[in-house]
Amino acid sequence: MNAPATTPSIPLSAPSAPAATRTTDLEIKDAHLIFEAVWQDLETDFRREDLRFPKEFILLGGAPGAGKGTNTAFILKARGLTCPPIVVSALLDTPEAKRIKDAGHMVGDREVIGILLRQLLRPEYRDGVILDGFPRTKVQVECLKLLVNKLHQLRSEFIHTPLGIHFRQPTIHSMVLFVDEKESVARQLKRGREIRDHNEEVRRTGVGELQEERATDYDATLAQRRYRVFKEQTWSALQSLKEIYHYHFINAQGSFEEVEQNILRELKYQSSLELDPRTYDRLRSLPLASDIILHARQEMVKRLDAYEFEQSDLFARVVTFVEKKLMPIVHRHAISGVALINTEDPVLDDSLALAMLIDIFSERGYHAVVDLHRIEVPEKFDLTTGLIKCRVKKVFRLQIRFHGSEIRRG
Ligand SMILES: Nc1ncnc2c1ncn2[C@@H]1O[C@H](COP(=O)(O)OP(=O)(O)O)[C@@H](O)[C@H]1O
């Protein structure tokens, strides 16, 4: 895989750019001006309390053909979201925007921000949204930061009102799928072939829906230009997100399965920063599972040695009990990997013996759970008072689990 840091700077092939693109390039690239203008429009059209944006933003970036569209459904599922993604490029469907896209260039930031912010207010995105292909420029990154500032402002304004729940702390994940130029161009052309075949089939049979054909997917030079525009303008913009938001860099060169696994591995590391600070404060005193398992093995070894050296009689009795009484039963369950055993053996009356038993099994690679049941057994019945006197019988229910044997039918 190409190391991102060593990417050479490649000049844009601008001479053949259409007039519309030159106009776009002349657009005032001042994020503050653009954002404020768009925001003013929003404030004119919406009441402040209706400026409800998504709680979670997953910014899905990467070279053309990196697999953003391909992996969207998988990412949505992994994050428990049900809304469709916002594919930013698909929102830009005016004839002028289409001309710019067909030449392999990018549509102006003003237009992108204007359309996107309105789209984000739709109710289906309240819990979270995937933005496929945003941000693509530094100006868009700045606008994103300004949007997040606004969301914080709205939050402080409403937090102590009944509407507070609609203004949660936003969390931003930036996920960048990385492929090199060769792979990007090959996949764009592959997509072109697939879409052409698909559309031919739809036209022939009248079944299904036509998909959008992108000029850049049919011409290696244009596909290459798209990749270079990405490297020149979008790559560094995406890198700058690393400093401010949760950042996930995904190696997307591999097979479909490999890329899915890379995504899953990255998403597993969720941070408590996603919680509202108030919720986080309430939970922070509880240790994380990852912390308590860190030294668990060493602690167990220490305990086992202490049993041997300081409580050797009891320890020897428990080991004998495990060996003679329990292991024969466990053996018989070697295929299922679960043995449930009830015992009244008095060796377990000592609570230390129970702790020993659990540690012994853990050390040998089993998971043991012990559960004590007290059962009242009637012993005497007083004929004059009608009182029943009971004896308490202690039954230990042991559950021993381990990785059973795999049997396949031939
Ligand atoms: N891991 C992969 N291996 C091989 N082909 C892939 C992989 N991921 C995506 N593709 C293919 O590459 C093409 C472009 O993928 P797509 O998801 O449309 O890219 P993007 O949305 O990032 O531009 C599609 O034909 C898709 O089937």
248 Cα–ligand 1 center, Å: 19
Quick check: CB of 246 below 6 Å from ligand 1?
no
Tell me what pLDDT residue 96 has: 77
Does residue 277 sit in the same domain as residue 301? Answer: no
Does residue 136 sit in the same domain as residue 217? Answer: yes
Contacts for 329 with CB less than 8 Å, ≥ 6 apart: 339, 341
Does residue 278 sit in the same domain as residue 318? Answer: no
- What's the CA angle centered on 387, arms 381 and 390, to 5 degrees? 65
Quick check: CB of 190 below 6 Å from ligand 1?
yes
Tell me what pLDDT residue 281 has: 76
Does residue 144 sit in the same domain as residue 108? Answer: yes
What ipTM does this complex have?
Answer: 0.92
Output the residue whose Cα is nearest ligand 1's atom 10.
Answer: 67
What 3-state DSSP class applies to 177? strand
Does residue 70 sit in the same domain as residue 170? Answer: yes
Contacts for 352 with CB less than 8 Å, ≥ 6 apart: 311, 314
Quick check: CB of 101 below 6 Å from ligand 1?
no
**Does residue 92 lie in a domain region?**
yes
Does residue 325 sit in the same domain as residue 193? Answer: no
Q: What percent of the chain has pLDDT over 70?
A: 90
Please say if the pLDDT value at position 9 is more than 70: no
210 Cα–ligand 1 center, Å: 18
3-state secondary structure 248-262: EEEECCCCHHHHHHH
Does residue 281 sit in the same domain as residue 344? Answer: no
66 Cα–ligand 1 center, Å: 6
Last residue of a domain, one of 286, 310, 331: 286
pLDDT digits (tens, 9 = 90+) for 238-292: 988 888 888 889 999 999 999 999 998 888 766 555 677 677 778 878 887 877 8
Range of the domain at 106: 4-286
195 Cα–ligand 1 center, Å: 12
Output the residue whose Cα is nearest ligand 1's atom 11.
Answer: 187
Does residue 132 sit in the same domain as residue 268? Answer: yes
Quick check: CB of 70 below 6 Å from ligand 1?
yes
172 Cα–ligand 1 center, Å: 24
pLDDT digits (tens, 9 = 90+) for 109-153: 888 999 999 999 999 999 999 999 999 988 999 999 999 999 999
Tell me what pLDDT residue 150 has: 96
Tell me what pLDDT residue 27 has: 41
104: left (phi over 0), alpha (psi -120 to 50) or beta: left
Quick check: CB of 256 below 6 Å from ligand 1?
yes
Tell me what pLDDT residue 90 has: 87
**Does residue 67 lie in a domain region?**
yes
Quick check: CB of 36 below 6 Å from ligand 1?
no
Does residue 212 sit in the same domain as residue 243? Answer: yes
- Residue 108 or 148, more confident: 148
Quick check: CB of 223 below 6 Å from ligand 1?
no
Stretch 32-53: mean pLDDT:
95
Atom of ligand 1 nearest to the CA of 71: 17
pLDDT digits (tens, 9 = 90+) for 177-195: 999 999 999 999 999 999 9
Atom of ligand 1 nearest to the CA of 190: 25
Rank 5-9, 59-63, 377-381 by mean pLDDT and report only the highest. 59-63
Cα–Cα distance measured from residue 288 to residue 408, given in angstroms and rounded to the nearest whole number: 38
Does residue 255 sit in the same domain as residue 361? Answer: no
Last residue of a domain, one of 286, 304, 334: 286
Last residue of a domain, one of 262, 286, 310: 286
**Does residue 406 lie in a domain region?**
no
Q: What predicted TM-score, i.e. pTM, was given to this entire model?
A: 0.67
| Whole-number average pLDDT of the chain | 87
**Does residue 408 lie in a domain region?**
no
Number of domains forming the structure of the chain: 2
CATH of the domain at 195: 3.40.50.300
Atom of ligand 1 nearest to the CA of 252: 1
Q: What percent of the chain has pLDDT over 90?
A: 65
Quick check: CB of 65 below 6 Å from ligand 1?
yes
pLDDT digits (tens, 9 = 90+) for 289-345: 877 887 888 899 999 999 999 999 999 999 999 999 999 999 999 999 999 999 999
Does residue 146 sit in the same domain as residue 201? Answer: yes
Does residue 305 sit in the same domain as residue 390? Answer: yes
Give whole-number Cα distances, 85 to 58, 88, 143, 285, in Å: 9, 9, 20, 36
Tell me what pLDDT residue 102 has: 83
Stretch 377-386: mean pLDDT:
90
**Does residue 109 lie in a domain region?**
yes
Mutate-to-test residue for ligand 1 from 191, 226, 250, highest number of ligand atoms within 8 A of CB? 191
**Does residue 303 lie in a domain region?**
yes
Please say if the pLDDT value at position 15 is more than 50: no
